[in-house]
Each structure stands twice: as C-alpha cells, then as structure tokens.
Amino acid sequence: MTMSPHPSTLPAVLSPVLTPFTLDGNPDAKKLLKQCQWLESNGVGQAIFGTNSEANSMSAPQKMSTLTALVEGGLNPAHMMPGTGATSIDATVNMTRHAVEHQCAGVLMLPPFYYKDVTDDGLFAYFSEVIQKVGDTRLQVYIYNIPPVTKINLSLSLLERLTKEYPKTVVGMKDSSGDWAYTESVIKLLAPSGFRVYAGSEVFLMRALRAGGVGCISATANVNPKAIAELASHWQESDADQRQADLDQVRSIFAQYQMIAGMKTAVASYSNDSEWLRVRPPLMQLSAEQQAKLLGELKSINFSMLGL
C-alpha cells in the first residue's frame, strides 16, 4: 500500500453513525455519544452525519451543536469524519469550519445535490469556494460520491483537478457508487499520490484493500463493527475471504429492508431501548412484522452486538 504524504489518524473502517432522536425530533447527543463510544471500542471510527445518520433531515445548527457535545463528552476527534456537505455553500462552510475547529481528522463532503446535470466546472467551483472560505490548512476533505442518491457522477477528471489544485486539502473520498470498476479506477489514478479511497460498503472491503484503497465507510459498521474492523486488520491472512463472506451474509439480511430503519431496529433490540426505533420523515420505522422477521433472521445466524 502506498504511504500517504498526509498520514491520517483515521481508522480503516468508519461508520456513518445512526442518529438517535428525541420525541421532538432533535438529535439525542447523550445517546449518540454512547453509541459512538461503543463503535470506538470495536475499532471503528465515526463518520457522523452521513447518509445513514439521516444527516440531511437535520439542520446545520443541530449537527454543529451535536458535534460539540460529542467532543466535549470525550469522543476522540482524531477518529471522526463528520459529513458537512449541503446544497448551501454557506451551510457547508459553517459546518466544515466547525469540524476543523473541533480538530476532526477529516470531513466527508457531498457534492451540492439539488441541481442535476451540472458540469464539472460547476462542481469544481462549489468545492473550491468552500475550501477557500474555510481557509484553514488543517482542513482534510474526503469527497463523498453517492450517485444512487445524488444522481450526480463525480468524474475522474474532476477528482484529479481537485487534488492537483488542493493537494493538501482534498485528500480522499468515500465511493458509494456501488460500481467496483469506478472505485478501482479512482484508486489506480490517485492512490499512488496518497489519495485515500474508502469503499462505501464492506462488500467491497477486500477488493478495495487489495487494490490499494484504505478501507470502508459502511452502513453496517453501525451494527457489525468488530467483524468489519477485524477484516480490515487481517485482510492479508488466509481466512480473509471467509471473513468477507461472513460480513456479506450479515449485510444481505439488512439489505432486504430500508437500511436505516432496519439497523435502528437491531440497535433498539440489542440495547433494549425502543427510543432507537425513531427515524425522521420521510423515512418510516419498520412494521412490527418486519421487525420480528429481521430480528429472527439475525438470531438464525447467531448475530450479536456485544457490549451495546
């Protein structure tokens, strides 16, 4: 694996941490801190305010005050990569600056996702303006590519242009395209210069590591953190393919359901705390029947969430 010219304190596996909500729809920072500490104890970093965090159902002030509460609660910002991308440049700048001031190791930045069919020049202008307005040499940006949701494709030429213009700032990406050929092409083009590519699912973890990527930022790291982190640590050992198959089995169970509601069902059950079932509209909780089916399928493979 190529050594990055910008050594990172971030682990190989991060979780886009599920957000617990209070009855009035605010993030429950106390409960979230406990969840993040559990992930940390299982070797997984925290990409709070990602897709699975329901980040775009929260306001920028809600996210910033929650981040402050987590850091003040003792969570290690060296293992944190908060999502700061928004359609508004102003909101993105505010959240990004706030994360840098709290010494987070990186930020995960969506492209502006409302307007479709935008040009590379327009996307470059967005990232460029955010970086310049934040104006802090400590800023480490990981571009978040998730075209199934944003309907925006990030071209190799755009990524190359950003890394050339901001070599010490645009340092990596999370690729949730689900397109291995694309992920591999980004690794081949940019990893030799130290660009850190995280696959967007642990399904691609072995392939990413073998190709020269650094790990994964994956939904099911919320519920299966230890096993995913252990594969990232032992990917060159003889049982690695079996470990990968075991991870895929867990993922395939959750993938039958709306993932966020499904994972919240598991957390609520294994922590014995029904408040974890809450999601923000337009998402909905799983029905009682779906919850029972999911939990039964997990039990059938002896799934556990020890220490939750």
Instruction: Give the pLDDT of residue 2.
Output: 41
Higher pLDDT, 282 or 1: 282
Task: Note the pLDDT of residue 152.
Answer: 97
Whether 259 is in a domain gets the answer no
Average pLDDT over residues 261-276: 98
Report pLDDT for 6: 63
pLDDT at 155 (0 to 100): 98
Residue-level pLDDT at 7: 78
205 belongs to a structural domain: yes
Catalytic site includes residue 174:
yes
pLDDT in tens, 51-108: 999 999 999 999 999 999 999 999 999 999 999 999 999 999 999 999 999 999 999 9
Q: What percentage of the chain exceeds 90 in pLDDT?
A: 97
The 3 state secondary structure assigned to 281-303 is CCCCCCCHHHHHHHHHHHHHCCC
Q: Is 181 within the bounds of a domain?
A: yes
CA 100 to chain centre: 17
131 is in an annotated binding site: no
Specify whether 166 is catalytic. Answer: no
In degrees and rounded to multiples of 5, residue 199 shows phi and psi of -70, 150
Q: Which of 63, 174, 226, 264 is catalytic?
A: 174
Residue 201 has pLDDT above 50, yes or no: yes
pLDDT value of position 264: 98
Q: Report the pLDDT value the prediction gives residue 220, as an integer from 0 to 100.
A: 98
Q: Is the pLDDT of residue 275 over 80?
A: yes
Q: How far is CA 292 from the centre of its chain?
A: 27
Decide if 298 is inside a domain: no
Confidence tier at 1 by pLDDT (50, 70, 90): very low
Cα four-point dihedral sign 13, 182, 175, 259: negative
Domain that holds residue 165: 13-235
User: Is 249 within a domain?
Assistant: no
pLDDT of residue 147: 97
**In the chain, % of residues over pLDDT 70:** 98
Residue 211 has pLDDT above 70, yes or no: yes
121 falls within a domain:
yes
Task: Report pLDDT for 30.
Answer: 98
Helices (H), the chain: 29-41, 60-72, 89-101, 120-134, 147-150, 156-165, 180-190, 205-211, 225-233, 240-254, 259-271, 288-300
What is d(CA 215, CA 196) in angstroms, rounded to the nearest whole number?
Answer: 9
Q: Is residue 244 part of a domain?
A: no
117-137 per-position pLDDT tens digit:
999 999 999 999 999 999 999
Angle at 89 between CA 30 and CA 111, to 5 degrees: 85
In tens, the pLDDT along 135-194 reads: 999 999 999 999 999 999 999 999 999 999 999 999 999 999 999 999 999 999 999 999
Residue 23 is predicted with a pLDDT of 97
**Domain tally for the chain?**
1
CA angle centred on 175, ends 173 and 177, rounded to 5°: 155
| CATH number of the domain enclosing 211 | 3.20.20.70
Measured in degrees and rounded to the nearest 5, phi and psi for residue 145 equal: -100, 110
pLDDT of residue 5: 57
Flag whether 124 is in a domain. yes
> Is 252's pLDDT higher than 50?
yes
Nearest one of 129, 132, 162 to 145, comparing CA atoms? 162
